[in-house]
Amino acid sequence: MLRGADIPTLKAATTPATDTMGEHPFASDLNWLLHRVAASLGSAQNEVARRHGLGIRDYVVLRTVASGAPTSQLALGKDLGLGKTTLTAVLDRLEGAGLVLRRPAAGDRRTHVCEATETDWELAGRVAHEIARTEDGLLSTHGPRERRLLVTLLRELAFGTFAGSAPISGSCIRTGA
């Protein structure tokens, strides 16, 4: 069971946000704000993943593979915004640890299909639970209604019509390193 000390916390500013956010030159810049929150949350989530012998990219790939039907490496990379070289390195680590399987696709041996193992599902579930607790920590000052609204708005931005306006290139998952 997790204790409070076991859950990474996001480092708070020395002054409350309400005192400083109006003064900052990027206080209304959506791109800057999203990147700042993503960097802090990504760092905290990377700490959680590391306690399980993974990095945040490993976890994201692991959870994605565990959550669905077998998928090709190409489709997986495109879905996650990971380049071919980065994804191959992650899959090599996960396969070496017995967490995912890669096999040639039926009918096209040049295409590799990624599948979850039983260990993959178990580990992905444990890490997902701890990461959810980290997200709860980030949102602890907000009520359920505000949380739902935030997730709804972010989903609309991530998957809505604007999302297709620019291709995802490189890794959208930062390791904080």
pLDDT surpasses 80 at 148 = yes
Percentage of the chain exceeding pLDDT 70:
80
Task: Calculate mean pLDDT across residues 8-23.
Answer: 54
Pairing state between β 108-116 and 71-72: antiparallel
Task: Calculate mean pLDDT across residues 119-145.
Answer: 93
Yes or no: say if 64 and 70 are a contact pair by the CB < 8 Å rule.
no
Percentage of the chain exceeding pLDDT 90:
51
pLDDT surpasses 50 at 69 = yes
Tell me what the pLDDT averaged over the chain comes to.
Answer: 83
Confidence tier at 95 by pLDDT (50, 70, 90): very high
Q: What is the pLDDT of residue 162?
A: 74
CATH code of domain 53-159: 1.10.10.10
